[in-house]
Amino acid sequence: MIAIINYNAGNITSVARALQNIGKKYIITDDTKKLDDASRIIFPGVGAAGEAMAYLRQKNLDTWLKTYIKTGKPLLGICLGTQIILDYSEENKTECIGLVAGSTKRFPEKLISEGQALKIPHMGWNSVKLYRSHPVFNNVSPDAEFYFVHSYHPAPSDDAVVLGTTDYGMTFCSVLAKDNLVAMQFHPEKSGRPGLQILKNFCAWRGKV
Amino acid sequence: MLSKRIIPCLDVRDGKLTKGIKFKGNVDIGDPVEVAREYYEQGADEIVFYDITASSDKRDILIDVVRRVAETIFIPFSVGGGIRNLEDMRRVILAGAEKVSVNSAAVDNPKIITQGANAFGSQCIVLGMDVKKVEVSGKTPSGYEIVIHGGRIFTGIDALWWAKEAEKLGAGEICLNSIDADGMQTGYELNLTKMISENVCIPVIASGGAGKPEHLAEVLTEGKADAALIASMVHYRTYTITEIKQFLSEKQIKTRMLW
């Protein structure tokens, strides 16, 4: 059973509908007892780091995730769910879960590309350059684009966990992967067919590269 | 690098897709859920629904449309029209929309932008601006004025001032609609779009006037728009979104070409 962690952060319904579309059964819960029974976890999220962490702590989900990740079962982070698995987020100056070393940083004020000031949030379709193959990106074209909407980006301290990067006036880590964890800044549930393919792959993945 | 977005706009009245000219003479042209699916298949990057239902008691029809659309398409979509408070926003977001667009309500009560941004995040709140060209005056130094309630009421508010103000209040994006150009299919209001886009740091969607692919090319380059809204040119099947994207690609304008 796939479990989507519900922590009052945004796009849970979109992720659920995408899973429905690819014919996967799931539960949505914030109950650690029910989460214990899950074979894989999706950790989505839209919103602000401060509030999200406060809710996760209140429900003991931060500690639960640290234990879960050691079981070797797969974990998928999406958007805010990716940002807060790092140690720290500049958003609301928040101490985060710390499954991966590093922090989440705000885009610099003045991002310039080809003489034009870039807008923040980074909103819209952009591509991802993968540094190695990963089962979760099987059958996804390197030319595919994904839907991003964010003002902060992951900045892991160890380059070895960077699976993919995206260019937006600078190069930032848009996909990180470490053992049974894969986490992306973009929204696969809103990225058309390539996004649905990623979710399908994740649902079949055993957590090993 | 970020692609420019092509966004079909579906005006929905009593649960049906409709289109008018300069906000008038609307005719029904189909089922919004089916049309949304068709545009998704053609490569639309996002979809906008605008509820122009006159009476608020028919609101539930819209919520049902939003829910059915969310089950069928896997790209972002926004809903606007008649959104007056946090509760209205919450309903469309829970039904599956990524973004809500506020227009008249934000002019009447600008705080709704901040409240919405605090509750759902700035990325969720689109400021819809309906704009008409007017004489440059002390009140409207930009030469463009905000009109509300479907283009019927002139507010005396300067369009450029309002765009900057909305950004300060927490809007995550601006959908800029020229009423003069709406439904005319003679091209976007380039001066207006460029002026707003160069003066705010949030993305600007150009709206009103698209009739052929050249118009999109203009507004996405000269007009400095981040995205282009289209309606008539695809609703009447003059062009498909795929054809428009192919044209833009030939003009070296980057859009998402694989879906």
What is d(CA B151, CA A143) in angstroms, rounded to the nearest whole number? 42
Query: Are the beta carbons of B98 and A14 separated by less than 8 Å?
Result: yes
Please report which confidence band the pLDDT of residue B55 belongs to, taking 50, 70 and 90 as the band edges.
low
The stretches of B133-189 forming alpha helices (DSSP H) are: 159-169
C-beta separation of A101 from A87 below 8 A: yes
Distance CA B45, CA B8 (A): 9
In angstroms, what CA-CA distances link B16 with A24, B12, B71?
32, 5, 18
Instruction: Give me the catalytic one of B45, B51, B88, B130.
Output: B130
Q: For residues A164 and A140, is the Cβ–Cβ distance under 8 A?
A: no
pLDDT in tens, B157-191: 999 999 999 999 999 999 999 999 988 889 999 99
The nearest CA of chain B is from the CA of A70 a distance in Å of: 32
Quote the pLDDT of residue B223. 97
Question: Contact A120/B45, CB-based, under 8 Å?
Answer: no
Return the closest-CA partner of residue A74 out of A140, A22, A142, A135.
Answer: A135
Q: Are strands B204-207 and B173-178 parallel, antiparallel or unpaired?
A: parallel
Tokens of B238: 């003059």
B117 touches chain A (CB under 8 A): no
Flag whether the ipTM exceeds 0.90.
yes
Q: Which residues of B touch A113 (CB under 8 A)?
A: 1
Question: What digits encode the pLDDT tens for the residues B61-94?
Answer: 788 999 999 999 999 999 998 899 999 998 898 8
For chains A and B, CB pairs below 8 A equal 95
- Asked if B123 lies within 8 A of A150 by C-beta distance, the reply is yes
- Chain B 131-170, residues with CB within 8 Å of chain A CB atoms: none
Question: Based on the number of CB atoms within 10 Å of its own CB, is B180 exposed (0-12), middle (13-18) or buried (19 or more)?
Answer: middle
Within 13 Å and on the Cβ side, how many CA atoms surround B95? 23
CB B94 within 8 A of CB B63: no
Does B130 participate in catalysis according to the annotation?
Answer: yes
Per-residue b/e over B224-238, b at no fewer than 16 CB within 10 Å? bbbbbbbbbbbbeee
**Whether pLDDT at B56 is above 60:** no
Across B243-252, average pLDDT? 98
* Element holding B219 (H helix, E strand): helix B213-221
| Cβ contact B131:B177 at 8 Å | yes
Task: Specify the pLDDT at position B141.
Answer: 97
* Facing residue for A192 by CB, picked from B98, B172, B259: B259
In this complex, is the C-beta atom of B75 within 8 Å of any C-beta atom belonging to chain A? yes
For residue B63, the tally of other CB atoms under 10 A from its CB is 17
- B54, pLDDT greater than 60: no
Query: Any CB–CB contact under 8 A between B120 and chain A?
Result: yes
Handedness of CA A64, A70, A71, A77 (dihedral sign): positive
Report which DSSP code applies to A207.
Answer: S
Which among A180, A133, A172 is positioned nearest to A156, based on CA atoms? A172
Burial class (CB in 10 A: 0-12, 13-18, 19+), A183: buried
| pLDDT at position B201 | 93
**Which pLDDT score is estimated for B57?**
58
Please judge whether B259 and A193 are an interchain contact, meaning their C-beta atoms are less than 8 angstroms apart: yes
Residues of chain B with C-beta less than 8 angstroms from the C-beta of A193: 74, 259
Contact at CB, B258 and A117, closer than 8 angstroms: no
Which residues in chain A come in under a pLDDT of 70?
9-11
